[in-house]
Amino acid sequence: MCKKIRKNTCFLLVALLCVAPLQARVSTYVGAYGQIGEWSLLPSGSDYSPSFGVAGGLGGVVELQIAPKYSPTAFLLDVGIGAWGGMTSFSVGQKERFQIPGKQYDLQGESFDFIYELSGRKDNYSNLAVQVPLMVGVQHRRFYMLAGMKIGINAWTQAASKASVMTAAKYEDSPLYTGMPLYQWFEDERVSSRNSTNLNIDLDVSLEVGGRIGVINDAHGFDVPDRKIEYRLAGFFDFGLTDIHKAGTNMALTMPDRYDAQEAYGAHTMIDGLHMNDIMSTAGFASAVRSMTIGLKFTVLFRMPDARGCVLCNENYRRTVGSGGSRSRMKYEE
């Protein structure tokens, strides 16, 4: 008896699995989306704090909604492509000290160490990328959720660095000499540099949770008032799985090779010759840098025409509409 029950149960399950796809309603939507959020770069194994910035994007999407014929719950499959851009900044709180290698000599022939000290440094990164989302999810009445991957192909990245610099001379058994511009010892000067840089492909895991706005209609048929446009508003979270930075061997500061007393006297050559390399391209910055974005997303979807039967299947309604008559006077009944 038990074996017979188990056999019948297995048969029913197999039958349901075979019949369910045939009873499903598949609707195709095309649409557009816009998103904006806070963009951070997270350095691992580093003394630097995460960056902070803003990012946004626009794109298009194709969505399949697969659901049983009369169900308010649907399975979602999304594929899209879009343009994504952002700006984010690393702020360096601690002072960084550098020294020109070897002893330098002033006009009197005395030797000293020429020192640079950077403070208040800020590196701003601007980035443009092509983003391809591949998402699956579910919707139930007004609620929907999508999860999946986003592939970001970084097309252009630029870094702009700004800082205050102090230059000083350290003679043997003497304090630092600074605040003497005539000798190239500046107490506080602003310096800036620009660098073109590259980022690796960004592979993110993504979660999107939100709701459908306005009137919704999950039953599509010629005898049910149709709604061809859907609006969605959601929050999203993207977290990078890959290391997007290309580690370099540069020093944070490229300096003049030496102090030329005759050339430097009364000029700004020791400041003009400085170049700050962007933080992510310097040696020892981080073992890995991952991307994180949190924000809001608005989506508009347009349902594509499809072959539809009736939903309520009222015979009088079917005859009137099927023969080309107007349904404006027809009574809609649940």
The closest of 127, 152, 119 to 280, measured between CA atoms, is 127
Give the helix/strand (H/E) hosting 192.
strand 189-197
Residue 218 has a pLDDT of: 60
20-24, 48-52, 63-67: segment of lowest average pLDDT: 20-24
Share of the chain above pLDDT 90, in %: 55
DSSP string, 105-169: E-TT--EEEEEEEEEEEEEEEEEEEEEEEEEEEEEETTEEEEEEEEEEEEEEEEEEEEEEEEEEE
The pLDDT of residue 334 is above 50: no
Mean pLDDT computed over every residue of the chain: 84
To the nearest 10°, the Cα dihedral for 146, 205, 134, 144? Answer: 0
Count of other CB atoms within 10 angstroms of residue 150: 23
Question: Is the C-alpha dihedral spanning 165, 166, 172, 175 positive or negative?
Answer: negative
Task: Judge whether 219 and 70 are in contact, CB under 8 Å.
Answer: yes
Q: Give the tokens for residue 183.
A: 């000798």
The pLDDT of residue 6 is above 80: no
Mean of pLDDT values over 223-232: 72
User: What is the C-alpha separation between 61 and 270, in angstroms, rounded?
Assistant: 54
Residue 331 pLDDT class (50, 70, 90 cuts): very low
103-117, 134-148, 264-278: segment of lowest average pLDDT: 264-278
Half-sphere exposure (Cβ direction) of 124: Cα atoms closer than 13 Å: 11
The pLDDT of residue 313 is above 80: no
Residue 203 has a pLDDT of: 97
The pLDDT of residue 296 is above 80: yes
Mean of pLDDT values over 162-186: 91
Q: Which residue has the higher pLDDT, 279 or 333?
A: 279
Residue 38 pLDDT class (50, 70, 90 cuts): very high
Task: Judge whether 86 and 131 are in contact, CB under 8 Å.
Answer: no
Residue 118 pLDDT class (50, 70, 90 cuts): very high
Q: Which residues contact 202 (CB under 8 A, 6 or more apart)?
A: 129, 150, 151, 152, 153, 154, 240, 242, 244, 291
Residue 219 has a pLDDT of: 57
The pLDDT of residue 319 is above 90: no
Residue 16 pLDDT class (50, 70, 90 cuts): very low
CA distance readout (Å), 203 to 69, 213, 237, 243, 323: 36, 30, 13, 9, 54
The pLDDT of residue 20 is above 50: no
Amino acid at 66: I
